[in-house]
């Protein structure tokens, strides 16, 4: 997976960062409280020394990690591209623009939930300005000091911890919402889902495979059943009017396409209203419709 370099303030306007902040509006915290934490240099965050310490106190609670230029990363999203592969300095002062964009993103994500903010330095400034009613647990400027961690544990006493299955379902649906840019993407993960596999996780309903959640970049690739669900939702569709016989769909063969498709999106190919294939977009939706040459979709699965 290619690293996303975010080393200057202009990174706030990178398409990946803007898209992430915008789509965080689709996600909702789970449980009674949100624990706000600082990011770490190491990715995923949970592999870092500081977050291994934090999670001993926060396990089973909703965590939200502050980071610029992406704003906020719920713990369940930390394995998802691009948040799992960006490089950014975690020291230094925050600019007013960073504080504003991160604070607004955090404020909208948290909503009316109670907040425990275990942060220092620039992260503290963000929380003090945008979540002034939060409970602050780091008093000495060192989030992993014994005193600060003890304060965090005390503040979290009394909150109900979520069970692992509840957290997993929330993670799977959060990834779907982010990837397909709609709350309706929850439908990709039915209540009676099952996961198979250790690294690349196969999302199943009964004996049918819906999609694969990839370990390397934390996004789904669809199977035909997942394509049917996505078509019912009404997003990321590509319409053709011929019988597809190869695993490459060229732009001249596209009759119409969902306008918000961007390259590398998962798409569903339809003909006469029926799903005939799924794959990965090479062009944007508008390019597919207007293009007179070039590959539009790399087809992964198709119906013969």
Residues 293/250, Cβ–Cβ less than 8 Å: yes
If you search the block for the tokens 């840019």, which residue do you land on? Answer: 181
Residues 263/281, Cβ–Cβ less than 8 Å: yes
Query: What was the pLDDT predicted at 93?
Result: 78
Q: What is the pLDDT of residues 70-94, one digit of tens each?
A: 999 999 999 999 999 887 755 557 9
Residues 16/87, Cβ–Cβ less than 8 Å: no
Q: What mean pLDDT comes out for the span 96-105?
A: 96
Q: What is the pLDDT of residues 245-256, one digit of tens each?
A: 999 999 999 999
If pLDDT is split at 50, 70 and 90, which confidence band does 274 have?
very high
What sign for the dihedral angle of Cα 266, 1, 189, 173?
negative
Q: What is the pLDDT of residues 2-47, one digit of tens each?
A: 666 565 677 899 999 999 999 999 999 999 999 999 999 999 999 9
If pLDDT is split at 50, 70 and 90, which confidence band does 304 have?
confident
Query: What was the pLDDT predicted at 86?
Result: 82
Query: What was the pLDDT predicted at 120?
Result: 96
Average pLDDT, the chain: 95
Residues 210/204, Cβ–Cβ less than 8 Å: yes
Q: Give the chain's domains with CATH numbers.
A: 4-156 (3.40.50.10630), 186-302 (2.30.130.10)
Query: What was the pLDDT predicted at 245?
Result: 95
Q: What is the pLDDT of residues 193-249, one digit of tens each?
A: 999 999 999 999 999 999 999 999 999 999 999 999 999 999 999 999 999 999 999
In the chain, % of residues over pLDDT 70: 96
- Which residues have C-beta within 8 Å of that of residue 238, sequence separation ≥ 6? 249, 254, 256, 257, 258, 261, 267, 268, 269, 270, 281, 285, 288, 296, 297
Residue 251 and residue 240: Cα distance in Å, rounded? 10
Query: Long-range CB contacts (< 8 A, 24+ apart) of 217-221?
Result: 217/1, 217/80, 217/81, 217/84, 217/85, 218/77, 218/79, 218/80, 218/81, 218/84, 218/175, 219/80, 219/81, 219/175, 219/179, 219/266, 220/175, 220/176, 220/179, 220/188, 220/266, 221/266, 221/280, 221/300
Structure-block tokens of residue 110: 């948290």
- Which residues have C-beta within 8 Å of that of residue 42, sequence separation ≥ 6? 48, 49
Q: Is 26 exposed, middle or buried (0-12, 13-18, 19+ CB in 10 A)?
A: middle
Mind giving me the DSSP string for 236-304? Answer: SEEEESS---SSEEEGGGEEEE-TT--TT-EEEEEETTEEEEEEEESS-HHHHHH-SSSEEEEEEEE--
Q: How far is CA 18 from the centre of its chain?
A: 13
Backbone region of residue 175 per phi and psi (left: phi > 0; alpha: psi in -120 to 50; beta: other values): alpha
Structure-block tokens of residue 253: 């063969």
pTM for this model (two decimals): 0.95
- Which residues have C-beta within 8 Å of that of residue 88, sequence separation ≥ 6? 6, 7, 11, 39, 67, 68, 69
Is pLDDT above 70 for 58?
yes
Q: What is the pLDDT of residues 124-138, one digit of tens each?
A: 999 999 999 999 999
Q: What mean pLDDT comes out for the span 269-290?
A: 97
Residue 180 and residue 263: Cα distance in Å, rounded? 13
């Amino acid at each position: 997976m290619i690293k996303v370099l975010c080393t200057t303030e202009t990174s706030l306007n990178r398409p990946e960062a803007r898209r992430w902040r915008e789509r965080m509006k689709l996600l909702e915290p789970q449980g009674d409280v949100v624990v706000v934490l600082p990011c770490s240099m190491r990715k995923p965050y949970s592999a870092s020394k500081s977050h291994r310490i934090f999670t001993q106190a926060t396990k089973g609670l909703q965590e939200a990690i502050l980071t610029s230029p992406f704003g906020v990363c719920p713990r369940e999203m930390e394995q998802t591209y691009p948040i799992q592969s960006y490089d950014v300095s975690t020291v230094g002062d925050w600019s007013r623009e960073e504080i504003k964009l991160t604070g607004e993103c955090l404020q909208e994500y948290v909503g009316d939930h109670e907040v425990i903010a275990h942060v220092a330095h620039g992260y503290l400034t963000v929380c003090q300005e945008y979540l002034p009613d939060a409970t602050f647990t780091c008093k000495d400027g060192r989030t992993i000091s014994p005193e600060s961690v003890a304060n965090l544990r005390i503040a979290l006493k009394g909150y109900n911890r979520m069970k692992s299955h509840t957290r997993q379902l929330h993670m799977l649906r959060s990834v779907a919402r982010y990837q397909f840019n709609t709350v309706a993407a929850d439908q990709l993960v039915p209540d009676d889902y099952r996961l198979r596999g250790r690294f690349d996780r196969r999302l199943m309903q009964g004996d049918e495979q819906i999609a694969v959640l990839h370990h390397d970049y934390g996004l789904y690739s669809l199977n035909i059943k997942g394509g049917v669900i996505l078509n019912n939702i009404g997003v990321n569709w590509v319409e053709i009017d011929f019988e597809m016989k190869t695993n490459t769909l060229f732009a001249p063969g596209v009759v119409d396409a969902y306008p918000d498709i961007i390259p590398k999106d998962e798409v569903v190919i339809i003909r006469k209203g029926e799903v005939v294939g799924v794959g990965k977009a090479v062009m944007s939706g508008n390019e597919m419709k207007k293009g007179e040459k070039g590959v539009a979709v790399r087809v992964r699965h198709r119906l013969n």
